[in-house]
Structure 1
Amino acid sequence: MNDLILHHYPSSPFSEKIRLVLGYKKLPWKSVHIPAVMPKPEVVALTGGYRRTPVLQVGADIYCDTALICDVLEHVRPEPTLYPPHLKGVCRIFAQWADSTLFWAAMGYNLQPRGAAHVFAKAPPEAAKAFSDDRRAMAVNMVRLRPGDATCAYRSYLRRIANMADEHDFLFGMEPCVADFAAYHGIWYTRTQVPLLADVLNATPSVGEWANRVEAIGHGPMTQLSPEAALTIAAGVEPQPPGSNLLIDSAFQDDHGVALGSRVTITPESFGSESTEGELIAATRTHYSLRREDARAGLVHVHFPRLGYVLRAVAPT
């Protein structure tokens, strides 16, 4: 198998989720640091438009969205599992809630004016403006919580997580599962990026104890790689054919009346409105795959989960 290459930046919460999953599975990986805001020329060369962080590259196969990346890493190394058989449904549903509702409440709290001022205290003023403008553009299709509403929601969700953490070492038992990694990353941002706001955790000490156990998992063996080297790797190999890559399901499931081989776009439902256009080569019960070419990356296959993404046929010109 080709190396696992994670395109990320250190303060990205969703990247922390995947860094910990890699550590949990003791998988060696290569780290490519990317910009936190646009432009992201090397990322877009691989994805064709998708710009959310992180992105996992395996040769010339590009996996978008942490929900799909978790499935890929589970296939690469099934044990220890992210999806215990007796919890497979509930832990996925919880993770979907944590990656959306919990995360946005946490970040609405974390990036209130005091938090944002702390994050950018040592950066030039234009950096804070660039970040704010970038995230505003990404959230154009979203309703974002105001800081007061986010604080109220975050406190409530922390109490509910505490009810779970009171019972076990991890949220659903004595071992972590995908739910722990999904719930942790917004809380990680509170603890590590805006520590002046971390007193919100004081009312739920079991959440802090649980977070310490998740943090102790670590990131596993990692080596640095340049963005240019990652593009060279993609350009130097062929992507895996549908059905033989790291996504185990391959049966075509047509919910749109769009045939394989059609020109399509894939777009996130909400956060991040950039589309990726390409030839539809897989549409299964769990994911979409597009074939596309780039002058720098060569021929690549770009993969997305079905949930949270919109498929549209491109009208002939």
Structure 2
Amino acid sequence: MLLAPEEIVPEIILHQYVSSPFSEKIRKIFAHKKIAWRSVEQPVIMPKPRLVPLTGGYRRIPVLQIGADVWCDTGIIIRKIDELKPEPTIYPGGLTAAADTMNQWADRRLFWSTTPVIFEKLGAQVPKAFIEDRSRMMQGADFGAIARSAPDSRNQLRAFLEILDRQLALSPFLLGDSFSLADAACFHPVWFLRAEPSAFGIAQKFANLMRWFERIDAMGYGDVSAMDPDEALKVAKNSSPATAENVDSRDPNQLEAGTRVAVTPDDYAFDPVTGRVVVSTIHEIAIERDVPELGRIVNHFPKIGFRIAAA
């Protein structure tokens, strides 16, 4: 039986590592949408020699690859997944703004309240190379000193979790009776707390939150199979970008196709990726790069959370 066109999903490759909380968010969306995907395990710290050719220098995880197109940052990865397979929805009841807003809040507020609390206890066990790598990502700040903010972070984390717990007293999921992007987004910081028992203990005091957590955790990861990093590079080399030129004529900064720009995260890991503009829409910037060992690669980024500058 042939699949209808809307059911045909190309081979999806996720570059990740097992302990990555932001990868966990994407893994739960894959599970919800019942998407088959390939998992490429990448290093936790630099160097990442079999990732950087695909990303042009962008080093954060996860990264989504389809052929010679590469999506960097969960903001744009989620949009692409939803475009490929809209159903089952991650926006039940049409609550797009609520889900997207909770996603940004979870990434920028809830998640960052967990990190000092976890590393307050784990800091002494973390390899020096990891501390140095994360310090470089934070533009030279000392990641090893992050535990100093643990008392304030613990207060904020507890308050954030109580907000979620109150909502979950009224419904099985954060936006009602169905799983949504909000659940995937808020799940991954709580999941990250499991790295340190006393940190997770803060969450365990909230009964509604824990029932929800166990429900999301039990979803698993969907239909996943491993892929070697070299195989993923070969896929890119043997493919051509499928992205058609699409530049919004109403762009407020008058960005034009072919303009050479540098795209950089605005929060941490300030590694610019440089290329020629192929796509510029309200939510997306995509640039084309010529990579000697791979050929043409198009890198896709969200506009929210990134800076675009002439290069």
1:129-167 deviations in whole A, cap 9, x for unaligned? 111111111122889781111111101101001011111
The yes-or-no answer on 1:76 pairing with 2:115 is: no
2:294 & 2:21 partners in 1: Cα distance?
27
- Matching residue's letter, 2:123: A
Residue matched to 2:264: 267
The question of whether the paired residues in 1 share the 8 Å contact of 2:28 and 2:221 is answered with yes
2:33 to 25, 45, 51: 25
1:254 to 247, 251, 254: 251
Query: Where do residues 288-303 of structure 1 align in structure 2 (5 Å cutoff)?
Result: 288-303=285-300
Residue matched to 1:125: none
1:226 & 1:10 partners in 2: Cα distance?
15
Residue matched to 1:46: 54
Unaligned runs of 5+ in 2: 1-8
1:218-261 deviations in whole A, cap 9, x for unaligned? 10011111111100000101101326xxxxx8634423243221
How high is the TM-score relative to the length of structure 1?
A: 0.90
The yes-or-no answer on 1:90 pairing with 2:98 is: yes
Instruction: Give the number of aligned pairs.
Output: 299
The yes-or-no answer on 1:190 pairing with 2:197 is: no
How far is 1:18 from its partner? 0.6
The yes-or-no answer on 1:312 pairing with 2:309 is: yes
Residue matched to 2:4: none
2:130 & 2:310 partners in 1: Cα distance?
32
How far is 1:107 from its partner? 1.6
1:151-198 deviations in whole A, cap 9, x for unaligned? 11101101001011111111111111111111111110112x223432
The question of whether the paired residues in 2 share the 8 Å contact of 1:258 and 1:313 is answered with no
2:304 & 2:93 partners in 1: Cα distance?
21
- Matching residue's letter, 1:195: P
Residue matched to 1:109: 117
How far is 1:89 from its partner? 0.8
Residue matched to 2:131: 132
2:249 & 2:91 partners in 1: Cα distance?
24
The question of whether the paired residues in 2 share the 8 Å contact of 1:141 and 1:270 is answered with no
Aligned-pair identity in percent equals 34
1:252 & 1:46 partners in 2: Cα distance?
29
Residue matched to 2:17: 9
Residue matched to 1:124: none
Q: Where do 4+ consecutive residues of structure 1 move more than 4 Å? A: 141-145
1:105 & 1:229 partners in 2: Cα distance?
37
Query: Where do residues 221-260 of structure 1 align in structure 2 (5 Å cutoff)?
Result: 221-242=223-244, 251-260=248-257
Secondary structure, counterpart of 1:53 in structure 2: coil
The question of whether the paired residues in 2 share the 8 Å contact of 1:24 and 1:218 is answered with no
How far is 1:46 from its partner? 0.3
Residue matched to 2:184: 181
1:253-307 deviations in whole A, cap 9, x for unaligned? 4232432211110000011100000001111001000000112232110000000
The yes-or-no answer on 1:167 pairing with 2:188 is: no
1:109-133 deviations in whole A, cap 9, x for unaligned? 1222x13346x4xxxxxxx111111
The question of whether the paired residues in 2 share the 8 Å contact of 1:267 and 1:273 is answered with yes
1:156 to 156, 159, 162: 159
Distance 1:9 1:219, change over 3 A: same
1:79-123 deviations in whole A, cap 9, x for unaligned? 1111235311111111111111111001221222x13346x4xxx
2:135 & 2:250 partners in 1: Cα distance?
35
How far is 1:59 from its partner? 0.6
- Matching residue's letter, 2:184: F
The yes-or-no answer on 1:280 pairing with 2:277 is: yes
Residue matched to 2:107: 99
- Matching residue's letter, 1:203: K
